[in-house]
């Protein structure tokens, strides 16, 4: 029997090594437990941010832009909800075929679409703004993950081109671009809010988590404009511009007792509801931004200065024969030579010679002061953007011939708004009122420019000018007395004046006994044969004044005057300055 083999004892690890291994494993488990506790219990912001980045979004809640209404609360500019197509490039999941279908539906190229989605770090990008609801619904039906709809608002203008130059328009982001939309952007725009939502993989909102900031809607803007009078003024101006084949035209209707603008229209015009490219020539509000030499419509202010100084009165005789007057190397002419005329007849007949003699009797500073206090040379401050101040040179630089021509409206430039505002002096017993496009809550504070006696005397002269024998019988209104003055001025061309290019104008008020409205009309370059202010602009005043007085329920002050001459029956009264 063989002896059993003796085996070697199994090797054993040192105790310290096993202990070290246990310590390392234990420390590892403790570290993992501590890390888990730290991330999930004590400091879980990181994991929450990572998780929320997959489904949680903060979206902007647009504020509704304030409505613009007329003085009778008729809407002139409103914001309607529309849908825009947006995407989250970080979440987009689309095959090439999906992108082709989406690009065709949106009307954009596939390359443009890929370019917008290229930056995958972005969480929001617009693909197409302000779509019709049915088109937006078709996009949703494609079911492309990461593509969703964003609610926005689009501005709509019910009056279209009739109110275009007053209201203006907004861009695709509802920011004011022109006119009152631009001037009152801060009041109309409001402040957007924001909210946190949860979206699914298709970009659809499945849960509204919380409101972060509530939106503040814009203010409602109430204008002084009367939409009824605006439509009337626009219609008559358009017919006159078409009839006389004019380059452009403008009209403004003021409330003579408050200085509020009741209507303001321009031609050519544009449609603010069209988001295509708009010609800058059509968006310009000529009533407040364009300058012209007023011609004879400035003569009443020369007469007012002469009366106020005590140098003349209503019946003072001025010799205008032989119908011309030479100053230095220049000669002033009357379109229809007269003999001896009273001051009132000088205005009635629109005598350049008679007006120049009044102007030259005064120191230049006195005449300049009258023009300046009437608001010429300074902007009317109506609140409309881009309004101009006009040109009134310092009196110290006037030469005698310049003082003479200045007295009848040459060498000075004004806007139609300035001219209409200046006539509040004669309509309100010498008080110049500030003009506004916003409805006033109370009577305005005016500035006394001339005495009530002087203003009333000039108003009687203007009444004579609008009667048979004056330059504007075409301004008459059945049932009402009318006062006003025509202007027919050659246009500047190079360093001189064009021989056959005119600005025809008329500024008047009615009823003359107690004026309620002031209406200023300007027709630029009439080319159909007539160019005198009495034949071109005065009939527009007549039609607009008749409708306006009726709309305002003004009682007739001359009920016995039941008929007026039709435009074709009016005598041609020459007035050429």
CA-to-CA distance for 98 and 139, rounded, in angstroms? 11
Which residues, in sequence order, are CB contacts of 522 under 8 Å at separation 6+? 249, 250, 251, 286, 292, 416, 503, 504, 505, 537
Residue 542 near residue 466 (C-beta atoms within 8 A): no
Q: DSSP letters along 488-556, please?
A: EEEEEETTEEEEEEEEEEEEEEESTTS--EEEEEEEE---SS---HHHHTHHHHHHHHHHHHHHTTPPP
Helix 110-117 with 96-106: angle, nearest 10 deg: 110
Between CA 94 and CA 201 the distance in angstroms is 12
- Nearest-angstrom CA–CA distance, 320 and 338: 6
CB 216 within 8 A of CB 187: no
Q: Which of 84, 258, 296, 505 is catalytic?
A: 296
Structure tokens at 524: 């630029």
Give the DSSP per-residue string, 338-354.
-SEEEHHHHHHHT-HHH
Question: In the annotation, is 296 catalytic?
Answer: yes
Identify the sign of the CA torsion 261, 267, 272, 278. Answer: negative
Whether the bond into 322 is cis, omega within 30 of 0: yes
Please give the Cα distance from 68 to 225 (Å, whole number). Answer: 11
- Positions marked active-site: 296
């Amino acid at each position: 029997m063989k002896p059993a083999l003796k085996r070697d004892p199994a090797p054993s690890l040192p105790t310290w090594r096993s202990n070290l291994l246990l310590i390392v494993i234990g420390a590892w488990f403790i570290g993992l437990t501590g890390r888990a506790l730290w991330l999930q219990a004590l400091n879980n912001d990181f994991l929450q941010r990572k998780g929320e980045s997959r489904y949680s979004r903060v979206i902007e809640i647009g504020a509704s832009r304030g409505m613009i209404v007329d003085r009778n609360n008729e809407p002139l500019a409103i914001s309607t909800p529309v849908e825009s197509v947006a995407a989250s490039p970080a979440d987009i999941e689309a095959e090439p075929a999906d992108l082709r279908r989406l690009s065709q539906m949106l009307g954009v190229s596939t390359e443009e679409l890929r370019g917008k989605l290229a930056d995958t770090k972005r969480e929001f990008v617009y693909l197409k703004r302000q779509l019709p609801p049915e088109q937006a619904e078709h996009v949703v039906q494609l079911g492309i993950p990461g593509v969703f709809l964003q609610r926005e608002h689009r501005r709509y203008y019910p009056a279209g081109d009739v109110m275009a130059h007053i209201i203006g328009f907004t861009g695709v982001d509802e920011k004011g671009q022109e006119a009152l939309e631009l001037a009152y952007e801060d009041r109309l725009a409001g402040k957007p809010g924001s909210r946190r939502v949860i979206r699914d993989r298709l970009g659809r909102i499945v849960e509204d988590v919380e409101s972060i900031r509530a939106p503040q809607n814009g203010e409602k803007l109430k204008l002084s404009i009367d939409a009824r009078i605006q439509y009337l003024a626009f219609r008559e101006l358009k017919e006159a511009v078409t009839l006389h084949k004019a380059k452009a035209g403008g009209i403004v209707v003021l409330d003579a007792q408050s200085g509020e603008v009741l209507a303001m229209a321009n031609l050519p015009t544009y449609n603010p509801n069209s988001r295509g490219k708009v010609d800058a020539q059509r968006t310009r509000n000529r009533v407040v931004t364009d300058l012209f030499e007023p011609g004879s419509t400035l003569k009443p202010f020369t007469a007012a200065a002469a009366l106020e100084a005590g140098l003349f009165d209503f019946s003072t005789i001025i010799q205008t024969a032989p119908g011309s007057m030479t100053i230095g190397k220049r000669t002033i002419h009357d379109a229809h030579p007269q003999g001896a005329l009273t001051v009132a007849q000088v205005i009635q007949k629109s005598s350049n010679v008679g007006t120049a003699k009044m102007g030259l009797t005064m120191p230049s500073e006195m005449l300049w002061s009258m023009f300046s206090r009437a608001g010429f040379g300074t902007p009317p401050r109506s609140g409309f953007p881009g309004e101009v101040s006009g040109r009134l040179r310092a009196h110290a630089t006037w030469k005698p011939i310049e003082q003479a021509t200045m007295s009848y409206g040459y060498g000075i430039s004004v806007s139609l708004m300035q001219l209409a505002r200046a006539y509040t002096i004669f309509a309100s017993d010498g008080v110049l009122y500030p003009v506004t496009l916003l409805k006033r809550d109370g009577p305005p504070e005016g500035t006394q420019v001339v005495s009530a006696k002087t203003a009333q005397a000039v108003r009687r002269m203007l009444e004579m000018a609008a009667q048979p024998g004056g330059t504007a019988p075409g301004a008459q209104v059945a049932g009402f007395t009318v006062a006003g003055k025509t202007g027919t001025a050659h246009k500047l061309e190079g360093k001189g004046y064009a021989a056959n290019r005119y600005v025809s104008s008329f500024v008047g008020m009615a009823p003359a006994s107690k004026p309620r409205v002031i209406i200023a009309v300007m027709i630029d370059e009439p080319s159909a044969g007539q160019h005198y202010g009495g034949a071109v602009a005065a009939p527009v005043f007549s039609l607009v004044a008749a409708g306006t007085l009726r709309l305002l329920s003004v009682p007739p002050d001359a009920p016995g005057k039941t008929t007026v001459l039709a435009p074709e029956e009016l005598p041609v009264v020459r007035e050429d300055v």
